Amino acid sequence: MKKKALHKAHSLIPRNSLAWLLTAQIVVLLPHLPRLPFWVSVLWLGCALWRVQIQRMRWGYPGPLLKTLGIAAITAGVWFTERTLIGLDAAVMLLLLLFMFKLLEMRNPRDAIVVIYLGFFIIATAFLFDQSILLTLYQLFSLLVLVAALVGLQQTAGRNDPSRALRTGSVLLLQAVPLMVVLFLFFPRIGPLWSVDTPGGSATTGLAESMSPGDIADLARSGELAFRVSFEGPIPAHETLYWRALTLASFDGRSWSHLDFASRAEPRDWQPRGEPVRYQVTTRATQQPWVFSLRGATSDDERLVLTRDFLLRARRPLSETTSYSATSYLQSLLEPEDLTAMQQRLYTLLPEEVDPRSRAFAAQLRAEYADDAELIQALLRHFNQEPFFYTLRPGPLGGNTNDEFLFDTRRGFCAHFAGAMAFVLRAAGIPARIIAGYQGGEINPAGNYVLVHQFDAHAWVEAWLPGQGWISVDPTYQVAPERIERGIQQALEGEGSFLEDSPLAAARYRNISWINTARLRWDDINFQWQLRVLGFQADRQSGFFQRWLGTTDWQRIGAILVICAALVMIPLALWILRPGRLPRDPRRRAWTRLDRRLQRLGLQAMRGEGPRAWQARLDQALPGSRRQIEAFFDEYVQQTYANAGDRLDRADSLRLRALERELRRSLPRKRPRGPIRALDSGDLPGESSRL
């Protein structure tokens, strides 16, 4: 009796439906697995195996005690993995584990539908961590599989057809596309789901608030994209593209670090000079507040603020892909008036008893050059004329980093040159600070915008001069001018260290034409995706409404939304529910097409009339088409009745279709003369015995 009850319980979910559910579950879980520990994958395999054994009546369903222990185990697993049960990562992981465990609870179609509905939520959670176009395309496929699983759940064991379930799911999704577009354009834009701050989220910009000599050199080994910039008008020259991110003003003897006070206060004074350069920056989520801009930047974006050190800074950390517009004046005077006493002390402060040779060198320069501007030029000439080398393989430095670099190794990256120059200037009494950001970029001709990668990370020096304010000086240009004028790949061409740790980075193969063309075109697709889809937030939506509807009033927009939805859905519904719609079955389609053609001749099939009765009536009325009539009806009867319940393959469908076309071509254009009587069973030909 117990075995019989178990069989009855599990038979409520057909085997084909279980196969659909397992397929849908692994498709939905796959994007999450790379972020999860290995034991999660093993757990899913265990749940799937157990479910299959239940289906085969070899194992039973887990009891209440086992369920309780399972919940406790996965809760403990999440705790030991994430060190918390509160937060986005932990919540998503717990949801995924419960999604897996739900397999073991399914006893009827209702439970299976709950699993499928949970799958739709799992699809949405993947966008909390990635919003790329590739993931979006994959999630569309996941959505199709889930809908097909829902269709497959309604199929009986005898009518199981996976391809038909996929076709039905595809049609359902395609029918939803017009409504989806209307909702995307008109539905009020709230903060996207993925804009939730992830706990413990780390910066992905590559820059940090402190810099040691080798930090940017390590960053330059990465081929990841940092941000994209599109300009209004021509793109400025490569050597003028210094993308400022943050200032490093505090030196502890080895590392330069950022000071918060400079990013909080408003700038004291600055004078815009030169032609304005207008541009739009699109950057990914960095979980940091700094953004990227050229010298002398301003912005009307309410999300940004101009700080005391003349940088644009976001009011909140960037937790989503962000686009903002800015205008820069590259010849601006930044704080040309006298510095305050606190600023003078801050920007000339150095730790005691470090780098004595650098201090002596600064004293020597000061003795030779009383004018600050002349001293700066002399220091730049020193970098240009002495045997310094630009390299990503500088070698380790000891305690006195600036001394060893300036007088011993003389091999370094931009951080070495900028750090050493800032130290010497401060030791000579000239206020100086380091600007960390990016320099240059790669023009993408496909979209006429600039790509800035992590390997474009750069550091340079700003020194303060009376009447001129903060001026930018780049000692790296004196050593490796090709780095500033053409990019890092050309500067390291002889050394061969460009992206040597990233053999699969597409940017490494920019010298191969077809690879570079494909890479730039794909990047343009991603840029348009970020700009026009991910970037379609409240401000862009308001602009869209104002441009196309002439209003931003939500009452009017709501009325327009209802009208647009009706204009989209009503024709679609009428098309789907149209009376003359052909059936899906190829046999019924052939019958319906022939019936419609013969209706013009008054020879359509009568209500309740079978194929052989109709055939006999047509033979009497259309003697000239008797051969085609017999061939079509013989094939139709064979496929419909002799092979009843069998799946119709493509060859049978094509053969019946060809016979139907041949019959229709043989029919006369006008109705035959004379009355045509309906036949009774005694008039049917001998072949009717097969019915």
Residues taking part in catalysis: 414, 458, 474
- Tell me which residue has tokens 């005690």: 65
Query: Which phi and psi angles does 613 have, rounded to 5°?
Result: -65, -40
Longest dimension (CA), the chain: 128
Q: How many CA atoms lie within 13 A of 656 on its CB side?
A: 24
CB 431 within 8 A of CB 463: yes
Taking the C-alpha atoms of residue 497 and residue 503, their distance in angstroms, rounded to an integer, is 11
Taking the C-alpha atoms of residue 168 and residue 170, their distance in angstroms, rounded to an integer, is 5
Q: What is the 3-state secondary structure (H, E, C) of 228-273?
A: EEEECCCCCCHHHCEEEEEEECEECCCCEECCCHHHHCCCCCEECC
CB-based burial label for 165 (10 Å; 0-12, 13-18, 19+):
buried
Task: Map residue 113 onto helix, strand or coil.
Answer: helix
Alpha-carbon distances of 630 from 608, 613, 635, 668, 674, rounded to whole Å? 20, 12, 9, 17, 22
Q: CB neighbours of 611 closer than 8 A, spacing ≥ 6?
A: 633, 636, 637, 640, 691
Nearest residue to 300 via CA among 327, 321, 319, 322: 327
Nearest residue to 397 via CA among 221, 255, 222: 255
Taking the C-alpha atoms of residue 639 and residue 633, their distance in angstroms, rounded to an integer, is 10
Structure tokens at 4: 């019989």
Q: Name the CA radius of gyration of the chain, rounded.
A: 37
- Tell me which residue has tokens 């529910």: 577
Structure tokens at 25: 């579950």
Taking the C-alpha atoms of residue 297 and residue 299, their distance in angstroms, rounded to an integer, is 7
Q: What is the DSSP code string of 541-577?
A: HHHHHHHHTS---HHHHHHHHHHHHHHHHHHHHHHHT
CB 172 within 8 A of CB 255: no
Taking the C-alpha atoms of residue 615 and residue 288, their distance in angstroms, rounded to an integer, is 79
Taking the C-alpha atoms of residue 638 and residue 624, their distance in angstroms, rounded to an integer, is 23
Number of H helices, E strands in the chain: 25, 19
